Amino acid sequence: MTAVNGNVISEVLLQMYDMPHEADFFEHVLHLMKGHIPFLMSGYSMVDLRAKALDMKVLRNREGTSVANLSEIEKLVRSHPRLEVCCKNSMGPVVGTIDLLPEKEWKKTTLYNEVHRKLGLVHDTSMRFYVGSKCVSFTFCDKMPLEQDSYHFLNLIAPHLSPAYDIYNLQRQGLLEQTPEHAVVVSKQGRYSKLSPTVVEFFQKYYPTEKQQITHCLPDAVERWFQQERLKGASAEKLIVRGPGRALSLRLLRTPTGFLILCAESIEKDFQAILREMGLTKREAEVMLWVSQGKQNSAVAMILGISPSTIRKHVEHILEKLMCETRGAASNLVLQKMEAK
């Protein structure tokens, strides 16, 4: 295991964000991990959260030799307790076998006896991120459980997987060579390109008092948000600006040359109507709207002007009505309903 320090993490993230254009993102991540954490076998898989269906893509040893009977292994992996964790989003992004059940119990499972034991492996650890309604898991297997430094390393890398994958897709579409209509390109020094007509229209609609200056620079509130969130890297929070029956969402992505501010407008009436159809009251729908955007109870309480304890009660009722155990599972369920509509 490479010693975990700022230089190592920065180097890995630089390589992750600035990958060759012809590279496959998932293979690229596995290759990056190879030099930093110990494992005898690695691979990645995708879980469809709606159907709870697993699709294993790769499982190979450090020399690059692939396991032949991948389809048979895939059937057994469906019984792994980690699959349920992926669907419920109830634990951190990095999960080891021994985090889910005792080693003694793990060694009684068919998966262990039919796969891990035959391959000379004992433990596995997964690092995951979510893409729409799918969960991508990078899995690393070895004879011993990962040491704390390796867990720490993976936990520092994991939050960057989703934005790095977004950058990868933008590169594949050729959008980083030109300004996307719905985005603002910002250099590392904080200088941004001329705003596209689409972005100008968004800003003029949601910041009418600054209408004259918007064609030349960002609205003051957006500029403050950008300067604050650029320091957070992958953990940057979205900026949500509300209008009558609609909302503008701004998301910050780090790129090899600086940043992208992605703008997306949504119609809130549809969102609220779907939540009401799911059996939530008007107030519960308001709470769920903010929960689905990753806000904690204290933040929702401040936004809606009610106490955190009241928000906690609303969340309990929401989970009960939606028959979900966690906030993440409830958000995924709402997302599925939105996609269906």
- Tally of structural domains, the chain: 3
Residues 247 and 306 grouped into a single domain:
no
| Position 22 pLDDT exceeds 70 | yes
In this structure, the chain runs to a length of 341
Q: Which residue has the tokens 């308001």?
A: 286
- Of the candidates 136, 171, 206, which is a domain's last residue? 171
At 40 the pLDDT is: 92
| Position 1 pLDDT exceeds 70 | no
Locate the DSSP E strands across 67-174: 94-96, 123-131, 134-142
* 309 in a structural domain: yes
- What are 271-323's pLDDT values in tens digits? 777 888 888 988 898 888 888 767 788 878 877 778 889 999 999 999 999 98
* 86 in a structural domain: yes
Mean local confidence (pLDDT), 22-33: 89
Do residues 40 and 63 lie in contact, with contact meaning Cβ atoms separated by under 8 Å?
Answer: no
- Of the candidates 171, 198, 213, which is a domain's last residue? 171
* 258 in a structural domain: yes
Task: Please give the Cα distance from 195 to 179 (Å, whole number).
Answer: 9
Residues 87 and 222 grouped into a single domain:
no
pTM: 0.58
- Of the candidates 171, 193, 212, which is a domain's last residue? 171
| CA distance to 152, 210, 308, 326, per residue, from 62 (Å) | 22, 57, 49, 36
| Position 21 pLDDT exceeds 90 | no
- What are 213-254's pLDDT values in tens digits? 666 678 888 988 998 888 876 567 788 887 655 788 888 887
* 246 in a structural domain: yes
User: Which residues span the domain enclosing 12?
Assistant: 6-171
Task: Please give the Cα distance from 13 to 11 (Å, whole number).
Answer: 6
Q: How far, in whole angstroms, is CA 226 from its chain's centroid?
A: 20
- Give the count of beta carbons closer than 10 Å to the beta carbon of residue 53: 12
**Phi-psi category of residue 266: left, alpha or beta, with phi > 0 → left and psi -120 to 50 → alpha:** beta
Task: Please give the Cα distance from 159 to 114 (Å, whole number).
Answer: 33
Residue partners of 65: CB distance under 8 A and separation at least 6: none
